[in-house]
Structure 1
């Protein structure tokens, strides 16, 4: 990887070993908190407004797929060498299978040992059953860190 592609984060240097820290997260995994949704359910802009695709940017296979997909379209010729397939609103887009709708589920309240440097003890993540317990765990851990910092 070239140095121009490296992302440098500005992190405060930790005062203690990674084992002294915990990482707190509130997550909603796609597999358990979302389901596939239709273009209409997700308010897909292509479904709502229609879309166009430049023909010259498509490979022959993609052009065949687009024109034989069962979707309505017209060909719009703009200039020599510039034409578009124009798909009107109200039909599924080509990424309809990727649309997700959030389920009415509480997020997961997760606590992992360690920090961005890793989990040196290799312990399993813990999941709290409600946000109040997660906040209490966070508060207690913050107090432990403050006490350790005071000790020096």
Structure 2
């Protein structure tokens, strides 16, 4: 029974790294060098620092998932808490995607539009898998 959830958690853990690879393309795709140039140096640096911290958070979520797949699939309370945090993270990212960001200006090629939609589906899949791991009823853990 948990084998399926374990498989999905492994895929979700790896999915975090897939999202990071796509995120690494963002500065070039959005031409940060040109678009951030008008900002004061502190703000340019702050923008990059925020990006690095988000990347570290996503990498940490991937590593912790892969290290603790069995505990997450078994419903261990601490692992469920981690899954709940990751659910909130990816759900919030989806909220920003749908209600805050307007990426239309940057979706200028077919590949960018495809990539954008693939990432949206990845965020949905991440939120769904971690939601199941966090909130699914487990007989041993309530």
TM range (shorter): under 0.3
Alignment TM-score, normalising by the size of structure 1: 0.23
- Bigger-Rg structure (1/2): 1
Alignment TM-score, normalising by the size of structure 2: 0.25
Q: For CA contacts below 8 A with separation 6 or more, give which structure has more relative contact order.
A: 2
Select the structure that is richer in helix.
2
Select the structure that is richer in strand.
1
